[in-house]
């Protein structure tokens, strides 16, 4: 996930003075908000490979036709780490995990769980949840996702 | 049939802090050391490949200006942590292609004090409006919000995933792998750190990304390594002493990661390493049981475990048992990282893929002093760079 990082040049953040307008934007475009928040992938119409970012061609079969598909909102933890030392500006500790969502691997933070190795376990069942990242000067709220224990 | 390629001269600088030297100083010291070790000069070199990641670029030409400008082609290469191996392989390919009969590969990095690698961080608060950017349409940096971009965290998950699949891999097991490498480092005068740690010290040190504590992470440091390569035909015209000390490159392989489910969210360091190992064993005509020593890419303790399996040093799924048997200790059946590995020797990124080959050559030549693996005839050097690229070299002692 290195390619986009350098492209982020401006920063947006929460101010205390703006008035919420009710408008929301997702942290990333593969998070779909609304009554039933979920993740969506670009699925290759030839081979079924799923990608969270836009692709020029399929890395698996080189096909160029994709369709949007919803990803299961529940899954199990396949790998995790508890990050206690991170780049400046990143709040620690946090739990980073790989979650198997019915055959699609998803990367995300585990939330609503203590960041302690005795509390987080491999195979743990989790579900998608969302939380607010704050509102910007236009009153728009950014919403991020994480996974919480079921 | 292309000619065989041999290592004629090879060296590494001491890894550590070199505050008074820049990358060109370090690379030049390594290059001149390798030339002297091989008993040749820049005059005989037909190609140079130079690797460096963090510098300003074009390091090969800068090195030439210090060690000899003869007009030969330079290939400046960049392939993450596999950069050194890529430089080596570039020269090997040129010799195999018949473009020249001798060449030099150099890798150099200055990383002392570089701190955490891989984490983009979250930007400072000086903007006003959420705005989607990049291929994920992200309105804010995602490191720390959608998992971790840091190297310690990424490789922690890679080790934990192995534990998830096969069981038996816990914090203490990973810490004991680190204990082994730090113990090995006490015999290596060129290592950045050569202090033995107790298991309690390793587990009680600062946690970076569970289960990797600080001593379980590769050490950022400065260093360079270089190798002079020669075709077999040319080698046979050189002195008997040069032929005796030359080390045969029995296999030189570079792979990238083939697409697999999940590789978009957690790099798969396993398949490309296994693919490279298979190719290397086939090319060299040896198997894992024939290896007298292995230098593998232990950028984190969690990484070393999975590579026991990927390099087929154990049956599939058997890495924990392999470690628990004592096999990878220097007195075990397959000594792994007798140099101390990246956790103690250090990891000046672009130098690593040549320095690990130097370590193996050092033993095959019988010149490793206190840490000599007696009677070593065949060894393997492995590196992996995220993104990903895997380099494997199998080295054989000269029969001369």
pLDDT at A3: 38
Per-residue pLDDT tens for B136-179? 999 999 999 999 999 999 999 999 999 989 999 999 999 999 99
Q: Coil, strand, or helix at residue B295? A: strand
B122 to chain A: which residues are within 8 Å by CB?
87, 89-90
Q: Is the model's pLDDT at B28 over the cut of 70?
A: yes
pLDDT at B358: 98
Residue closest to B349 by CA, chosen among B21, B86, B119: B86
Q: Does B149 touch chain A (CB under 8 A)?
A: yes
Q: What is the mean pLDDT of chain A?
A: 89
A65, part of any domain: yes
Q: Does B207 touch chain A (CB under 8 A)?
A: yes
B 68-127: CB under 8 A from A: 116, 119-127
B280 to chain A, minimum CA–CA distance in Å?
25
Phi, psi angles (nearest 5°) of residue B336 = -120, 125
Highest mean pLDDT (candidates A11-20, B123-132, B257-266): B257-266
B242 to chain A, minimum CA–CA distance in Å?
45
Q: Does B205 touch chain A (CB under 8 A)?
A: no
B212 to chain A: which residues are within 8 Å by CB?
81
Q: Is the model's pLDDT at B128 over the cut of 80?
A: no
A9, part of any domain: no
Q: What chain A residue is nearest to B151 in terms of C-alpha separation?
A: A86
Four-residue CA torsion sign, B51, B54, B58, B64: negative
Residue B325 CB-density burial (10 A; 0-12 exposed, 13-18 middle, 19+ buried): middle
Average pLDDT for B340-358: 97
Domain residue limits, chain B: 5-112+219-397
B163 to chain A: which residues are within 8 Å by CB?
122
pLDDT at B256: 98
A10, part of any domain: no
pLDDT band at B72 (very low <50, low <70, confident <90, very high): very high
Four-residue CA torsion sign, A46, A52, A56, A57: negative
Q: Total domain count for chain A? A: 1
Q: What chain B residue is nearest to A146 in terms of C-alpha separation?
A: B146
Inter-chain CB proximity B122 and A137 less than 8 Å = no
Q: What chain B residue is nearest to A28 in terms of C-alpha separation?
A: B138
Q: What chain A residue is nearest to B160 in terms of C-alpha separation?
A: A79
A108 to chain B: which residues are within 8 Å by CB?
146-147
The partner residues of B104 in beta bridges, in order of sequence, read B48, B228
pLDDT at B400: 67
**Lookup: tokens for B10:** 């090879």
* Domain span including residue A110: 19-149
Q: How far apart are the first and last CA of chain A?
A: 28
pLDDT at A21: 86
**What ipTM was reported for this prediction?**
0.90
Residue closest to A25 by CA, chosen among B137, B197, B150: B137
Per-residue pLDDT tens for B115-124? 777 766 555 4
pLDDT at B1: 61
pLDDT band at B207 (very low <50, low <70, confident <90, very high): very high
| Alpha-carbon distances, residue A150 vs A82, A126, A129, B48, B133 (angstroms) | 19, 5, 11, 58, 32
A80 to chain B: which residues are within 8 Å by CB?
157, 160
| Alpha-carbon distances, residue B208 vs A66, B9, B174 (angstroms) | 39, 38, 14
Per-residue pLDDT tens for A74-124? 999 999 999 999 988 899 999 999 999 999 999 999 999 999 999 999 899
d(CA B63, CA B108) in angstroms, rounded, equals 10
A38, part of any domain: yes
A14, part of any domain: no
Q: What chain A residue is nearest to B257 in terms of C-alpha separation?
A: A59
Per-residue pLDDT tens for B357-394? 999 999 999 999 999 999 999 999 999 999 999 999 99
pLDDT band at A1 (very low <50, low <70, confident <90, very high): very low
pLDDT band at A5 (very low <50, low <70, confident <90, very high): very low
A145, part of any domain: yes
Domain B5-112+219-397 fold: Peroxisomal Thiolase; Chain A, domain 1 (3.40.47)
Inter-chain CB proximity A10 and B127 less than 8 Å = yes
B208 to chain A: which residues are within 8 Å by CB?
83-85
A125, part of any domain: yes
Inter-chain CB proximity B261 and A122 less than 8 Å = no
Inter-chain CB proximity B121 and A88 less than 8 Å = yes
Q: Where are the beta strands (DSSP E) in chain B?
A: 5-12, 48-51, 74-77, 102-109, 207-209, 212-213, 223-231, 247-256, 293-295, 378-385, 389-397
DSSP annotation string for A7-24: G--------SSPPP-S-E
Inter-chain CB proximity A12 and B209 less than 8 Å = no
**Conformational region of residue B299, where left means phi above 0, alpha means psi within -120 to 50, and beta covers everything else:** alpha
């Amino acid at each position: 996930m290195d390619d986009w990082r350098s492209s982020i040049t401006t920063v947006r953040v929460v101010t205390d003075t703006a008035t919420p307008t009710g408008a929301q934007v997702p942290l990333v475009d593969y998070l779909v908000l609304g009554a039933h928040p979920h993740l969506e992938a670009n699925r290759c119409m030839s081979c079924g490979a799923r990608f969270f970012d836009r692709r020029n061609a399929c890395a698996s079969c080189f096909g160029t036709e994709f369709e949007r598909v919803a990803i299961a909102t529940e899954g199990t933890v396949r790998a995790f780490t508890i990050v206690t030392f991170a780049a400046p500006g990143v709040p620690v500790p946090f739990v980073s995990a790989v979650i198997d969502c019915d055959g699609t691997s998803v990367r995300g933070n585990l939330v609503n769980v203590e960041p302690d190795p005795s509390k987080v376990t491999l195979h743990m069942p989790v579900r998608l949840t969302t939380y607010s990242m704050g509102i910007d000067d236009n009153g728009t709220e950014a919403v991020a996702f994480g996974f919480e224990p079921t | 049939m292309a000619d065989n390629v041999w290592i004629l001269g090879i060296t590494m600088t001491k890894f550590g802090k070199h505050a008074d030297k820049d990358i060109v100083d370090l690379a030049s010291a390594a290059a001149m050391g390798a030339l002297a070790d091989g008993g040749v000069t820049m005059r005989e070199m037909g190609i140079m490949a130079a690797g460096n990641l963090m510098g300003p670029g074009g390091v090969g030409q800068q090195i030439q200006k210090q060690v000899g400008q003869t007009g030969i082609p330079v290939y400046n290469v960049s392939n993450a942590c596999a950069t050194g191996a890529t430089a080596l392989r570039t020269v090997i390919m040129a010799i195999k292609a018949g473009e020249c009969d001798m060449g030099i590969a150099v890798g150099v990095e200055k990383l002392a004090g570089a701190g955490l690698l891989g984490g983009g961080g979250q930007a400072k608060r000086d903007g006003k409006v959420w705005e989607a950017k990049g291929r994920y349409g992200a309105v804010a940096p995602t490191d720390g919000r959608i998992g971790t971009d840091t190297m310690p965290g990424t490789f922690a998950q890679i080790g934990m995933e192995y534990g998830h699949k096969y069981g038996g891999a816990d914090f203490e097991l990973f810490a004991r792998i680190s204990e082994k490498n730090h113990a090995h480092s006490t015999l290596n005068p060129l290592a950045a750190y050569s202090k033995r740690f107790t298991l309690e010290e390793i587990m009680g040190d600062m946690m970076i990304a569970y289960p990797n504590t600080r001593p379980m992470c590769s050490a950022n440091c400065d260093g360079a390594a270089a190798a002079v390569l020669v075709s077999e035909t040319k080698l046979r015209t050189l002195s008997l002493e040069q032929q005796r000390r030359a080390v045969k490159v029995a296999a030189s392989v570079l792979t990238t990661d083939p697409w697999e489910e999940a590789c978009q969210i957690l790099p798969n360091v396993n398949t490309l390493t296994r693919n490279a190992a298979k190719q290397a064993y086939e090319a060299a005509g040896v198997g894992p049981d024939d290896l007298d020593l292995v230098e593998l890419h232990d950028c984190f303790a969690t990484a070393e475990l999975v590579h026991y399996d990927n390099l087929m040093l154990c049956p599939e799924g058997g890495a924990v048992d392999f470690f628990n048997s004592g096999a990878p200790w220097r007195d075990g059946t397959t000594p792994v990282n007798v140099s101390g590995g990246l956790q103690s020797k250090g990891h000046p990124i672009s130098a690593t893929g040549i320095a690990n080959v130097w370590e193996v050559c050092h033993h095959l030549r019988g010149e490793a002093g206190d840490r000599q693996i007696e009677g070593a005839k065949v060894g393997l050097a492995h590196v992996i760079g995220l993104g990903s690229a895997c380099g494997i070299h199998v080295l054989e002692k000269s029969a001369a």
